[in-house]
Chains A and B, each alone.
Chain A
Amino acid sequence: GAGVSQSPSNKVTEKGKDVELRCDPISGHTALYWYRQSLGQGLEFLIYFQGNSAPDKSGLPSDRFSAERTGGSVSTLTIQRTQQEDSAVYLCASSREGLYEQFFGPGTRLTVL
């Protein structure tokens, strides 16, 4: 079956612009996660959705970052007024209720010039 998909695969933007990153989880997976992988910070958790609710937003680095999930499926991570330090690979993962394994998408590489 289809895995987690993310779009775009690459995004280059100018400092100060807003960007939207999209994640399509595996069908039937109720839990969805966003992570960020950067040279300076390694792999870090951003936010977790259970259904359309986000019980854990503790990893969002600033109020410029927000995320939503609709219909218990697709999620969008929005970064407003991008800064150069936002450059990273943004990874999405999903998992089934009650199971530990998180399945990761290929990521979106964001470059802020």
Chain B
Amino acid sequence: AQSVTQLDSHVSVSEGTPVLLRCNYSSSYSPSLFWYVQHPNKGLQLLLKYTSAATLVKGINGFEAEFKKSETSFHLTKPSAHMSDAAEYFCVVSRYNTDKLIFGTGTRLQVFP
């Protein structure tokens, strides 16, 4: 079985400070891992994906994530938060390229000026 656990339901940061959104996964297969973002009243957008290539994955808008098998983690980071980063972020796992996505419960990121 596969699952992801997002360790924080809410994260608040000041604009210009680093962002860290934490995600741990559980998978009996070699997983594919993703981060999706959902802005208010908007659709889900893929930020980045890990599919067993490089363990450090760079995504859009300056976000990146590192796959750490020993820690079963896939944390999302950004060096400097922007007001436009305020949104809901979902850590997601799947088994293979056409498999269903299994979503974490989400982390709401607030960015203060």
A31 near B101 with CB under 8 A, answer no
Which residues of A (87-103) have their CB < 8 Å from a CB of B?
91, 93, 95, 97-103
The reply to whether A102 and B103 contact each other, CB–CB distance below 8 Å, is no
Q: A70-113 toward B: CB 8 Å interface, digit per residue (1/0)?
A: 00000000000000000000010101011111111111000000
Q: What is the minimal beta-carbon distance from A54 to any residue of chain B, in angstroms?
A: 12
B100 in contact with A33 (CB, 8 Å): yes
In the complex the two chains form, what is the Cα distance from A33 to B98 in whole Å?
A: 10
Question: Would A99 and B90 count as touching, CB distance under 8 A?
Answer: no
Whole-angstrom distance between the Cβ of B49 and the nearest chain A Cβ: 6
- Residues of A43-86 at the interface with B, using a CB-CB cut-off of 8 Å, are 43-45, 48, 50, 56, 59
With a cutoff of 8 Å between Cβ atoms, the chain A residues found around residue B32 in the complex are 100
B39-56 CB contact bits vs A (8 Å, 1 = yes)?
Answer: 000111110010100000
A107 touches B90 (CB 8 A): no
Would you call B46 and A101 a contact (CB within 8 A)? Answer: yes
- Chain B residues 78 to 113 lying within 8 A of chain A, measured CB to CB, are 90, 94, 97-98, 100-106
Shortest CB-to-CB span from A40 to chain B, Å, is: 11
Which residues of A sit under 8 angstroms from B36, Cβ to Cβ? 104
Known A43-B90, A91-B44; contact A98-B103, beta-carbon cutoff 8 A: no
Closest residue of chain B to A102 (Cβ to Cβ) is: B101
Expressed in whole angstroms, the minimum distance between the Cβ of B77 and any Cβ of chain A is 21
**Pairwise interchain contact B49-A100, C-beta atoms closer than 8 A:** yes
Please determine whether B43 and A100 come into contact, CB atoms closer than 8 angstroms: no
Contacts of A4 in B (CB 8 A): 43
* A-B pairs with beta carbons under 8 Å apart, 29 shown: A4-B43, A31-B98, A35-B103, A42-B105, A43-B90, A43-B106, A44-B103, A45-B100, A45-B101, A48-B98, A56-B100, A93-B44, A93-B101, A95-B97, A95-B98, A98-B97, A98-B98, A99-B97, A100-B32, A100-B34, A100-B94, A100-B97, A101-B49, A102-B101, A104-B43, A105-B43, A106-B42, A106-B43, A107-B43
A contact residues vs B (CB 8 Å cutoff): 3-4, 31, 33, 35, 42-45, 48, 50, 56, 59, 91, 93, 95, 97-107
